[in-house]
Chain A
Amino acid sequence: DGGITQSPKYLFRKEGQNVTLSCEQNLNHDAMYWYRQDPGQGLRLIYYSQIVNDFQKGDIAEGYSVSREKKESFPLTVTSAQKNPTAFYLCASYRDLTGELFFGEGSRLTVL
């Protein structure tokens, strides 16, 4: 079955450390997205990529970085510059046929 795999599901990090969240899809979708979810604030867009080797900042890109070297993969790095990184991170890809975003299971990052 096709889908989006995010890892790790849970991650703890000390302040000052960078951490990379993995997102892999086998749906053959061109566009991929990273969203952050905080309680009471819905989902906010961090970065997105519509094609390999190209990506765009979303609404809250500061303190994050991404790469898109392969169509299947869109990793997100949470850097030490991100002031409040504790959150639930969701990766998604765009399904052209239905016009929907298809989400992974998410990664919950806690900074100690």
Chain B
Amino acid sequence: EDKVVQSPLSLVVHEGDTVTLNCSYEVTNFRSLLWYKQEKKAPTFLFMLTSSGIEKKSGRLSSILDKKELFSILNITATQTGDSAVYLCAVAGGTSYGKLTFGQGTILTVHP
């Protein structure tokens, strides 16, 4: 059974802090790892990672995958209150690319 575990489950920081969110996984026939941000309703796509050691970056957010150790991290630098959200990690395995296994999510709260 595929499994994705995120840590920490919740995190409270102040604006300007840097945070690191963790995601470890066990999946058969790994295809990709995806990060999503969920503020209120629909999760929005952040990154898709398929290769080890290659950092994906978008503004203050960056992510990297380690396929040997089976984990990924999502870094957010200089956090803002708008970064407050649930961050979801998901893994695609098997034969259906869209059939994702999700972690529990990390609730990030950024105080002014």
Contact = CB atoms under 8 A, between A and B. Distances in A.
Contact of B102 (A44, A56, A93): A44
Contacts of B101: 45
Interface string B80-103: 000000001010100011111111
Interface of B: 4, 6, 9, 32, 34, 41-45, 48, 88, 90, 92, 96-105
Chain A interface size, under 10 / 10 to 19 / 20 to 34 / 35 or more: 20 to 34
A56 B9 CA distance: 31
B48 A106 contact: no
The binding surface of chain A is classed by DSSP as strand
B104 A42 contact: yes
Contact of A106 (B6, B41, B92, B105): B41
A100 to B, nearest CB: 4
Contacts of A93: 98
Given A31-B97, A99-B92, A106-B42, 12 more contacts: A31-B96, A31-B98, A42-B4, A45-B101, A50-B96, A94-B98, A99-B32, A99-B34, A99-B48, A101-B98, A103-B43, A103-B44
Nearest to A101: B98
What 9 pairs between A and B have smallest CB-CB spacing? Answer: A94-B98, A42-B102, A43-B102, A103-B42, A100-B45, A105-B41, A42-B104, A106-B41, A31-B98
A40 B41 CA distance: 15
A17 interface: no
